[in-house]
A and B are shown apart, each in its own frame.
Chain A
Amino acid sequence: MRALVVDDSRTMRSILSRSLAVLGAEVEEAEDGAVALSRLEAGALPDLALVDWNMPVMDGLTFVREARRRPEWRSLTIMMVTTEGEYDQIARAMAAGAHEYLVKPFTAEALFDKLELLGLAGSADGSNDAGANLAGGEESGGGR
């Protein structure tokens, strides 16, 4: 799997990239939506984009809308990973073209569960082992 992690926080990009690396993913990072669009235009299309909402320059919702205007990027699976947990925000993101939504804080297990639902991760058994190393916490996120 090839993935693009889009978040203005280097810390969060690192957490997400480590989680995806456990799954064997090849990960690229971008610090805002505009940089992410440039990455998509410049290289091979990844399978997955994990996208924060609140970012400078170009926010995540705008990125999703821009990406969905490009038919050649239709195969890109987009998951919002954000603190924006209100129902209407989730609805806006899904309407714009996001496939899934994960609310921060999340554990690696919660991320893997979402990826499994999208057909982008393997069994939960392996995921849980990996998640314990990354987060060490209990199940959370995704449904606040």
Chain B
Amino acid sequence: MSSATELVSTESLEEILQEVWSAYLAALEPGAPRPDERVHELTVTVAVRGAWNGYVELTFPQPAARLAAAAMLLFGADELSERDVQDAIGELVNIVGGNVKSLLPSPTKLSLPAVTTRLEHDGDEGLRLLAEVAYGPSDTPVVARVWRATAVDGQEGQEGQQAQ
């Protein structure tokens, strides 16, 4: 349990983000966000289930989400629909999540991306924040977080013991 925790660190998460940005968002030019857009955020998550349970989450300020989608689709930011933006940032969290998954014990499965509200520490799943990295333009950074669902891990452990 502890060894898996150590495998997902702030450093490893930052390395993944650097690789993703280099591949798809290198052309992204930082843009000054409009003050009224700053308050709006979009969060996308993928769930990891199996030998390790948790979530990978990306939270985008609205302007950063549109810029990322525009860079990936090669559209002008004004040409993008909300669906385009959600699809693009969904793919980004899918890629980041897949690379986080590769650091974890097997077997695990990755869910499809979901646009959601920010995850919270408390709750039935016993979420614990393992790593948090702000990445991208300094005025509109994307925040990546990896959460471990300790209560789900516990349930799976109990089921495993009962099966034995």
Interface residues of A, Cβ cutoff 8 Å to B: 8-12, 14-15, 18, 54, 56, 82-86, 88, 103-107, 135-138, 140-141, 144
Nearest A residue to B109 by beta-carbon distance?
Answer: A54
Give 10 closest A-B pairs by Cβ, nearest first: A83-B98, A105-B23, A137-B22, A136-B26, A9-B91, A137-B26, A11-B88, A85-B102, A104-B95, A105-B20
Counting chain A CB atoms within 10 Å of each CB, the highest count among B23, B88, B91 belongs to: B23
CA distance A10 to B88 in the complex (A): 8
A11, B112: Cβ atoms under 8 Å?
A: no
Q: Mark B3-42, 1 if CB is under 8 A from A, else 0.
A: 0000000000000000111111011000000000000000
A10, B23: Cβ atoms under 8 Å?
A: no
Interface assignment of B155: CB less than 8 Å from any CB of chain A: no
A56, B99: Cβ atoms under 8 Å?
A: no
Q: Mark B52-88, 1 if CB is under 8 A from A, else 0.
A: 0000000000000000010011100000000010011
How many residues does chain B have at the interface if contact means C-beta atoms less than 8 Å apart?
A: 28
Nearest B residue to A83 by beta-carbon distance?
Answer: B98
Interface residues of B, Cβ cutoff 8 Å to A: 19-24, 26-27, 69, 72-74, 84, 87-88, 90-91, 94-95, 97-99, 101-102, 106-107, 110, 112
- Shortest Cβ gap from A8 to chain B (Å): 7
B91, A11: Cβ atoms under 8 Å?
A: yes
Show 9 A/B contacts (Cβ-Cβ < 8 Å), sorted by A. Answer: A9-B87, A9-B90, A18-B74, A83-B110, A104-B23, A105-B22, A107-B23, A137-B22, A140-B19
B19, A11: Cβ atoms under 8 Å?
A: no
B98, A135: Cβ atoms under 8 Å?
A: no
- Shortest Cβ gap from B47 to chain A (Å): 12
Query: Which residues of chain B are within 8 angstroms of A144 by Cβ–Cβ distance?
Result: 99, 102
B101, A83: Cβ atoms under 8 Å?
A: yes
- Shortest Cβ gap from B98 to chain A (Å): 2
A85, B98: Cβ atoms under 8 Å?
A: yes
CA distance A9 to B89 in the complex (A): 10
